[in-house]
Structure 1
Amino acid sequence: MKFEKNLIFFINQEIFEKLKKCVLKASPNESFGLILGSKPLEIPLENPGEFQYQFSAEVFECIESDESSPVNFLSENVEELNRIIKDANQKYDMRVLSIFHSHPGGAYPSGFDVNYMKFLDEFYTDLLKPPRMLKTAIKNQIWTIMDASNYELNGFIYLQGEYLQVNVQIKSEQK
């Protein structure tokens, strides 16, 4: 999988700790949640037309999976997902930056993850026809995956027909 250095996802220590708590709460099963934040910063690079995109996590919502499983997560509660997305957008001008979940071992996409990333990206217009907010919120999302055994965190995106690893950086709190 190609590493995309011009997509950087910053997660502060407070959000990182919340991710770990979500993983612990769901253990030994996969955890699930949404990472929210403002639109990414678009920073021009030396070559004309090239940019670096910097995403910053601002809020994390841990969501209980509808299915307790160590190999996948599931949330069919469309109303709750819509509420989270709508509140973030309307109250705080934030959007979903990442779909977060954990794996019992390893912070890389499973076959299910890879297929679902592609499905959500390519076929999102056919999903959940009435609640438009959810449809547009899942296009081109970073998938953050945490290894439940050591809290390693990686990010991935399916973009323009290609799976890419995203540069995830944990920012320490500066006083």
Structure 2
Amino acid sequence: MLLVRPPGILTKGLTSMKLISSLSACCLLATAVSSVSAQQPGSVQYNTQVLPANGIVARNASPDRWGAIAIATDKSDHLGWKDDGTSRDQAEASALELCRSAGATKCKVVGSFANSCAALALGPDRYGVSFTADTRRSVAYTKKEAVRKCGVEDCRIVRSGCTIPN
């Protein structure tokens, strides 16, 4: 049996290989140039810090930093805030202790959060708490949401913070 190669097959294959190699080289060069210019003083990217999706991490990530918020229930304005706990229980216990050590006689935990951010707004006889894990938005939006949940004009943000994973 005699196999005959049609004319031009080898030439077309080499031309395609050269084209693919040239495109790959251009892409690599463009990536290298853009990453170098991103770190140049004076460029927009030079002083830009990228945070993980407004403090929200992948749903399958196990929480490794917990936060909790405790407020006084004895008509004082004391609160306890913990944002570097190793577990929910530990963060909530620490927030309660911080609230009591600030001078409150009775405190309650009003929220806990993991690998995300939270904001607390206080007003006369009212409070509002919001979490980035609930709003799926920025910390600024979460602060506005806490004030909205507080429900009165005199509400103001008294604390906000994040438990960004290590």
The structure in which a higher percent of residues are strand is 1
Say yes or no: TM over 0.5: no
Shorter-chain TM range is: under 0.3
More relative contact order, 1 or 2 (CA 8 Å, 6+ apart): 1
Question: TM-score with structure 2 length normalisation?
Answer: 0.26
Question: TM-score with structure 1 length normalisation?
Answer: 0.25
The structure in which a higher percent of residues are helix is 2
